[in-house]
Amino acid sequence: MAYVAKPAQAKAKELDPHRIREDFPILQREIHGKPLAYLDNAATTQRPKVVIETLTRFYERHNANVHRAVHTLSHEASVAYENAHKKVAKFINARSWREIVFTRNATEALNLVAYAWGFWNLSEGDEVVLTIMEHHSNLVPWLMLRERRGIVLQFVDVDDRGRLRLDQLREAITPKTKLVGAIHASNVLGTVNPVQEIVEEAHRVGALTVIDAAQSAPHIPIDVQELDCDFLAASGHKMLGPTGTGFLYAKRELLEQMDPFLHGGDMIATVTLEGVTWNELPWKYEAGTPSIADGIALGAAVEYLLDLGMEAVYAHERKLLEYALERLLSLEGLVVYGPHDPEDRLGVISFNVEGVHPHDLAGILDEEGIAVRSGHHCAQPLMARLGMDNTARASFYLYNTEDEIDRLLEGIQKAQRLFR
Ligand code: C6P
């Protein structure tokens, strides 16, 4: 089990999802005449008013480019943008805000690791160990490096319930291993991987680690100092921030040693026709005009989560998960993928209804105002390993309620009746 509840959690204040829902204007919407039940949070979450207002306020009062001018607006924008990095650093307990690079999404953050670190530090025969559970974002860049640099990829399997084979991981990590990459929580199965143990195993042979926290950072407390991971990527838009936001955490010494992979404005200190010197961290890795308003609004999202407390967010979602698992597992004609023990997973549940294609099921649920995702979830090797090609997927967040899970069950039963 990767996320072990700490004693503090027992004291976590209880979230009131009905109160929280008032902060999210979109949750007041009706879809096909029914109240929206948004259960597609693993794809992207909704935004609270404070995030939407931060965007509007920026454009109405402070809009200017950052780091480029001495006028008041540019100064205000620069300070707010820097402060957003500080909030994200606090959110994951980084040693310094300079270890936080803002990116467009988790995919860009993971590509940054592959191209700024992997391309220059890996050569033929070097081994990278990945799990079979990786999202394509932490898989395809390494497949590309295998073609371009001749690196060797080792994949660690899962058991039939979708839990990582730690025995295989230990065997796969050898002195040839230069990097171990692992998804923290699976976007298909909800499985939480024991990343602390994975990092320890990697460091034993001197390998670096990249953790894909796109599905964990929004839902459980993350402490990068405690994890001691070298890189960690996450999506801002899966944790109440605007689309077009994500971030990479990397240990400062690595960010200092590495060269950026995007070159141009703002990321340099000096340029002559003979060469360049890099800007200070983290701007060295944020070439060109960044998504300033979105980045600042990500800071507001992170503050909103910190105010509620991540222990409380986890405790609420844990209750929803237990309720949903119990109800889904009691339905006949339904297959629920991933671990059945809530200790081993988070609130992302993939399932299939016998005789109903997941896209048809998602369509019927939509008629009931319920949003779920259906498809391969950008993790095709995992789907192939578990003999699935498409699934329906419900994923929860802090504003979801047990009532919405009841509606999901009723929708599934309606589909079963229609397809009988
Ligand atoms: N998963 C889903 O499951 P971006 O879109 O770049 O911010 O995040 C990519 C990504 C990386 N890792 C994991 C574990 C993810 O789940 C995702 C995104 C979404 O519905 C879209 S495929």
pLDDT tens sequence across 94-116? 999 999 999 999 999 999 999 99
Q: Produce one character per residue of 171-198: b if its CB has 16 or more CB atoms within 10 Å, e if not.
A: ebbeeebbbbbbbbbbbbbbbbbbbbeb
CA geometry: angle 413, 417, 420, nearest 5 deg: 130
Q: Please report the atom of ligand 1 found closest to the CA of residue 185.
A: 14
**Residue whose CB lies within 8 A of the most ligand 1 atoms, among 38, 235, 376, for a mutation test:** 235
The reported pLDDT for the residue numbered 157 is 98
Length of the chain: 420
Q: Would you state the CATH architecture of domain 7-43+309-419?
A: Alpha-Beta Complex (3.90)
Q: Answer whether residue 3 shows pLDDT above 70.
A: no
- What's residue 13's pLDDT? 83
Amino acid identity, residue 38?
Y
pLDDT at 88: 98
| pLDDT tens column, 153-168 | 999 999 999 999 999 9
Is the CB of 137 within 6 Å of ligand 1? yes
**Phi and psi at residue 196, in whole multiples of 5°?**
-60, -45
Atom of ligand 1 nearest to the CA of 184: 14
Please list the active-site residues: 378
* Pairwise CA distance, residues 202 & 111, whole Å: 20
User: From the CA of 106, how far away is ligand 1's center (Å)?
Assistant: 7
Average pLDDT over residues 55-83: 96
Does residue 124 carry a pLDDT above 90?
A: yes
Centroid of ligand 1 to alpha carbon of 349 (angstroms): 15
* Ligand 1 pocket mutation, candidates 111, 135, 298, criterion most atoms within 8 A of CB: 135
Tell me if 5 CB under 6 Å of ligand 1.
no
Contacts of 413 (CB under 8 A, 6+ apart): 331
pLDDT tens-digit readout, 194-245: 999 999 999 999 999 999 999 999 999 999 999 999 999 999 999 999 999 9
**Which architecture characterizes domain 52-306 according to CATH?**
3-Layer(aba) Sandwich (3.40)
Whether the CB-CB separation of 48 and 304 falls below 8 Å is answered with: yes
pLDDT computed for residue 69 by the predictor: 86
Task: Over range 57-67, report the average pLDDT.
Answer: 97
- Taken in order 280, 286, 292, 297, the sign of the CA dihedral is negative
Ligand 1 lined by 133 (C-beta under 6 Å):
no
Assess whether the previous peptide bond of 194 is cis (omega < 30° from 0).
Answer: no
pLDDT digits (tens, 9 = 90+) for 339-360: 999 999 999 999 999 999 999 9
pLDDT, position 11: 57
Rounded distance from Cα 217 to ligand 1 centre (Å): 12
Q: What is the pLDDT of residue 305?
A: 98
246 lines ligand 1 (CB under 6 A): yes
Instruction: Find out whether 140 and 166 touch, Cβ atoms under 8 Å.
Output: no
Per-residue pLDDT, averaged over 63-80, amounts to 95
Structural contact between residues 213 and 259, judged by C-beta atoms closer than 8 angstroms: no
Q: Is the pLDDT confidence value at 419 over 90?
A: yes
Ligand 1 center to 3 CA (angstroms) = 20
pLDDT band, very low/low/confident/very high, at 12 (cuts 50, 70, 90): low
CB 215 within 8 A of CB 317: no
Distance CA 182, CA 204 (A): 16
Amino acid at 348: V
The pLDDT-based confidence of 178 (bands split at 50, 70, 90) is: very high
Atom of ligand 1 nearest to the CA of 186: 14
Question: 9-18 burial, b if ≥16 CB within 10 A, otherwise e?
Answer: beebeebebe
Residue boundaries of the structural domains of the chain = 7-43+309-419, 52-306
What are the DSSP calls for 330-393, one per residue?
TSTTEEE-S-SSGGGB-SEEEEEETTB-HHHHHHHHHHTTEE-EEE-TT-HHHHHHTT-S-EEE
CB-ligand 1 contact for 189 (6 Å cutoff): no
Provide mean pLDDT across the span 282-298: 97
The yes-or-no verdict on residue 7 having pLDDT over 80 is no
pLDDT given for residue 62 in this prediction? 97
